[in-house]
Amino acid sequence: MNLAGKTVLVTGSTDGLGRIVARRLADAGAYVLLHGRNRERGEVLREEIRAAGRGKADFYQADLASLAEVRSLAQAVLRDNAHIHVLVNNAGLGSGPDINRRATSADGYELRFAVNYLAGFLLTHLLLPTLLKSAPARIINVTSLGQQAIDFHNLMLERAYDGGRAYRQSKLAQILFTFDLAEELKGKGVTVHCLHPSTFMDTTMVRLNNVKPVSTADQGADAVMNLIVSDELERRSGLYFNVREESRASDQAYDAAAHAQLRELSRRLTGLS
């Protein structure tokens, strides 16, 4: 994909991996729609991109722990933009020092499932008509090598809460969503892929967990950019990548019954059904 003049939305783009990806997209001539919770950081990045004089950028503030704010984000993006050529669902919560303290979103859902998965699910569906109108277009879901089967009988982990499981379950949900949406969009000019960008990158998320980085955020950005621009992926969809290598996700990602159950549940939880 030639990014010159293309409109790209990157969630969670005021820090870490998302920030680097946003800068690279702008350097390639794209119009980057920045997103984050912190307006000051978002506006600083917007001005940095504008000062570089290559691409251009605007900032949208939203807390993805609230589905109402996800809807407001989508409304604002659609109000201002006739086309969206790439959506990168990058925003998310990692582990962190409070990982084993169960928290809930504004809508009462387990927080990591809400932010890492439900927000992206809802945002993607709200933007989908415009993505289809802008085809060829791409959707990239930033997930993780850390995956664990979804327990549909204890989805919000109200019993025996474990923060690591909450994170891994939310990341596998992203992968099921990727595969399911790719099948739905087959032949419509919008491809969907997901990836584990790199292991323990040198980002704020990793440092807050007191983990020594073993890769750089630039390596993760390389992997994300590959899925955005690769000519080889123009006619392929529904793939999971471990960095830049096509790989296999956890077994549940290929379970048709799990796909259907998660799809129905997600539509109900986000008010799409």
Alpha-carbon distance of 198 to 23, in angstroms, equals 18
Beta carbons of 182 and 203 less than 8 angstroms apart: no
Phi, psi for residue 61 in degrees, rounded to 5: -95, 135
The catalytic residue among 31, 109, 167, 240 is: 167
Identity of the residue numbered 74: A
Distance CA 212, CA 122 (A): 34
Cβ-Cβ contacts under 8 Å for 212 (sequence gap 6 or more): 200
Residues composing the chain = 273
Q: Which helix (H) or strand (E) holds 142?
A: strand 137-142
* Packing angle of the helix pair 163-184, 256-270 (nearest 10 deg): 100
List own/partner pairs for 183-188 with CB under 8 A and 24 or more apart. Answer: 183/238, 185/132, 185/237, 186/237, 188/132, 188/135
Output the six-digit token pair for 265: 């549940």
Does residue 240 have an active-site annotation? no
Q: Which residue has the tokens 């790439």?
A: 86
- Collect all residues with Cβ–Cβ distance below 8 Å to 72 and sequence separation of at least 6: 62
Residue owning tokens 């986000």: 270
Active site residues: 167
